[in-house]
Amino acid sequence: MALKGQIQEAQRAGNVSIYFASQLANLTDKSSTFDQLTRIETELAEKRSRFKDNDPLITRLERMRLALVQYINQQTIALLNGELDLAKANLQSLNRPKEIVSRHRELTQQALRDEATLVNLQNQYQQVQLEQAREGDPWELISTPRVLENPVSPNKKRSLALGLLGGFVLGAGGALVMDRRSGRVFSENELEASLPGQRLQTITSIERVQLMQSVELLANGPLQQFSCIAIVPVGSIKQSLFNEFCSTLEQNLKSKHVVIDEDLSATRDCDTQVLVASPGASTREELTLLREQLSLQNAPVAGWILLNPKASAA
């Protein structure tokens, strides 16, 4: 239908105007004809600028232009007719007789039925093979099974007990090794053996009420007879714990002079000295050096106090 429309458009154009068919641009060779037309139109425009329209030269150029336009349109129509014939031939070649189409459809349906039948037979054959394989036992019992009274698997309770025991031993051993390597003294018995004098008191709580009771017993007991008392920290005691103890002790010893210093040269003139120790606050070398300094100082030592608030938490 498009080719027929183009042919009609070219026929209506006649020799008045040129009809261009874009799809035929590569199929035709009109360059020479268009060149002639271009030269005639150029010459016609040039002549019209100098002569009148009824001039014989202009009339001859007009006839030549119309002839060329008509020739180009006729050539275009001929090519379009050729394209139309070719399209009709292709369309006719695509048409198949009804007998052939019917036979093709019949054969296609038969092939699909045969393929479905083949798939069904293959599935049935595989099912038969599976049933045949199930007839015989794939294994053979060569001995009578024996069931043990106790399971072979590990005893969970025994494993748990051994794990806890092993963890405790390893932890204790590791703690002892770390203790020996660090050199700090955590044992109360070792502190008691290393410090001079007797243990006056063990303070296991820094709560205000309990701490007041412990310090009050200490102030009204072993320290009551002294007027100038020196408090000497042993090692690096936790500062907040030591300050709380010292402030509470000073409150209970209002009428007495209290000197708090770790320098033994500053505490030698006091009536007595009280050492304050804590687990892990001092090393063995520090305790040995303290005993030597106290021996050289030759000043009285009332005893020592153990600050161990973790004991109550444990």
Residue 307 lies in a domain: yes
Q: Which of 35, 63, 94 is the last residue of a domain?
A: 94
Amino acid 12: pLDDT: 58
Q: Which residues of the chain have pLDDT under 70?
A: 1-32, 90-96, 135-139, 148, 150-154, 175-183, 205-206, 310-314
The span from the CA of 66 to the CA of 58, in Å, is 12
307 and 187 in a single domain? The answer is yes
CATH number at residue 300: 3.40.50
Residue 109 lies in a domain: no
Residue 176 lies in a domain: no
Residue pair 224/257 in contact (Cβ under 8 Å)? The answer is: no
- Reported as a single tens digit per residue, the pLDDT across 61-102 is 778 877 777 777 777 777 777 777 777 776 666 666 778 778
**Paired tokens of 293:** 């300094």
75 and 195 in a single domain? The answer is no
Distances (CA, A) of 76 to 9, 20, 23, 210: 11, 8, 11, 123
Q: Which of 94, 114, 148 is the last residue of a domain?
A: 94
Residue 277, beta-bridge partner list: 306
Amino acid 114: pLDDT: 92
Residue 135 lies in a domain: no
Residue 216 lies in a domain: yes
Q: Which of 54, 69, 94 is the last residue of a domain?
A: 94
Residue 314, CB-side half-sphere exposure with 13 Å CA sphere: 5
Total tally of structural domains belonging to the chain: 2
CB contact set of 7 (below 8 Å; sequence gap of 6+)? 77, 80, 81, 84
Amino acid 161: pLDDT: 84
Amino acid 117: pLDDT: 93
The 10 Å Cβ neighbour count of residue 165 is 10
Residue 257, beta-bridge partner list: 228
The 10 Å Cβ neighbour count of residue 210 is 14
Residue 130 lies in a domain: no
**Paired tokens of 259:** 């000197």
187 and 85 in a single domain? The answer is no
CB contact set of 48 (below 8 Å; sequence gap of 6+)? 58
Domain, as residue range, for 228: 183-313
82 and 191 in a single domain? The answer is no
- Reported as a single tens digit per residue, the pLDDT across 139-152 is 677 778 777 676 66
189 and 306 in a single domain? The answer is yes
Residue 80 lies in a domain: yes
Instruction: Write the DSSP string, 89-147.
Output: HHHHHH---HHHHHHHHHHHHHHHHHHHHHHHHHHHHHHHHHHHHHHS-S----S----
pTM above 0.75, yes or no: no
Residue 243 lies in a domain: yes
